[in-house]
Amino acid sequence: MGEFELIRQYFAAASCARTGAGVVLGIGDDCALLNPPSGNLVAVSTDTLVAGVHFPEVCDPALLGQRALGVSASDLAAMGASPLGFTLAISLPQAEADWLQRFAAGLNQMAEQCALPLIGGDTTCGPLSLTLSVLGHVPPHQALQRSGACVGDLLCVSGPLGDGAGALPLVLNRSLGDSETERYLLARYWAPQPQLGLGVALRGRATAALDISDGLLADCGHIAAASQVCLVIDQEQIPYSEALQRIYRPEQALQYALSGGDDYQLAFTLPPAQLPVLQAEGWPIQAIGWVEVGQGVQLQTATGHRITPAVRGYDHFERGS
Ligand code: ADP
Ligand code: MG
């Protein structure tokens, strides 16, 4: 199978590669042509996933396709952007029909779920790696940046934390999920749910937002730094899934929520009056802290003590140093 046949069969022919209102011209020409709603800003984000670094060398290609796009689309959600399209640059050791068919099916499923059309990409031969760029649109002045948190705001999250890190031992052991609990955690890792609807709902309401990919402490640290405020996290208010609590002790669950990664929930700051409004709209969001004068992130422990935790998010160039 040649490069062009591969692109045609597995990507151009996928149902997510159809053109539509936002995509005037899709796969097949030198560039795709997009038509965002008049006056909107275009939001762009790129993520690379390398085999052996971001995912196990041996894994289910359908799950990999699903996860790769879910992780990327989460950045659009965190910006409050509506989906416009995505590109896929894939480097493959060989063109294996079964692998490609399953990968494309998983990718297509997440693309349809996110309403994100595949608009182009690049296909090369080499070690397995994926680079996805997602594009979205957002009205001027409504993007959810990291820099707007205000003293007095609440710190909120979109759902339970720690599941991504709690799933990792199962992922690395190539567990197929022996129980409902394990299957839930594996799904949280392999099919992260980009909070695109919530991101749009937060436009004009949240003062700052991001998606939690490196753990609550590291990611809240980014908001604190960009907004020049102190974020206080009340340890007692951190939400956990039933599954995580069933498998792990409370200290381990806390550790995963604070310093694990891969949760892809949104963390955002909100004027207090907005919380009941959003909850009444049905968004399952929860306050876990607040914004104060100062800098960095502080943790209020169960006994009411304040500590300044060491932030250890994942850094690709710090390994072994
Ligand atoms: P060029 O030589 O102009 O870069 P390519 O031969 O790389 O074009 O790609 C041909 C068309 O197929 C382009 O529209 C490109 O965007 C698309 N394409 C290539 N690889 C992929 C892929 N993995 N997924 C989706 N579209 C792809
Ligand atoms: Mg090319």
**Torsion-angle region of 320 (φ positive above 0: left; ψ -120 to 50: alpha; else: beta):** left
Pick from 27, 72, 128 the residue to mutate for probing ligand 1's pocket: most ligand atoms within 8 Å of its CB.
27
Report domain extents, the chain. 3-138, 154-307
The whole-angstrom separation of Cα 69 and Cα 36 is 20
- In this structure, are residues 155 and 269 in contact, taking their beta carbons and an 8 Å threshold? yes
**CATH superfamily ID and name for 154-307:** PurM-like C-terminal domain (3.90.650.10)
What is the maximum alpha-carbon separation in the chain?
63
**What are the pLDDT digits (tens) for 218-243?**
999 999 999 999 999 999 999 999 99
pLDDT score for 314: 62
- In this structure, are residues 27 and 118 in contact, taking their beta carbons and an 8 Å threshold? yes
pLDDT score for 320: 45
DSSP labels, 272-296: TTHHHHHHHTT---EEEEEEESSSE
Pick from 3, 7, 91 the residue to mutate for probing ligand 1's pocket: most ligand atoms within 8 Å of its CB.
7
Rounded mean pLDDT for each run of 10 residues along the chain, 321 residues in total: 92 93 96 97 97 91 97 98 98 96 98 98 97 98 98 98 95 84 95 97 98 96 98 98 96 95 96 98 98 97 92 63 38
CATH fold match for the domains 3-138 and 154-307:
no
**What are the pLDDT digits (tens) for 60-106?**
999 999 999 999 999 999 999 999 999 999 999 999 999 999 999 99
The fold adopted by the segment(s) 3-138 is 60s Ribosomal Protein L30; Chain: A; (3.30.1330)
CB atoms within 10 A of CB 34: 17
- In this structure, are residues 119 and 14 in contact, taking their beta carbons and an 8 Å threshold? no
Ligand 1: residue whose CA is nearest its atom 2: 30
Tokens 């209020």 belong to which residue? 300
For 17, which DSSP code? G
Tell me the two tokens of residue 40. 């909107």
| 10 close to ligand 1 (CB < 6 Angstrom) | no
Tell me the two tokens of residue 61. 């290609």
pLDDT score for 321: 38
pLDDT score for 99: 97
Q: Which residues pair with 121 in a beta bridge?
A: 88
Whose atoms come closest to the Cα of 28: which ligand?
1
pLDDT score for 37: 97
CA dist list (Å): 295 to 149, 196, 232, 238: 12, 29, 10, 21
pLDDT score for 160: 98
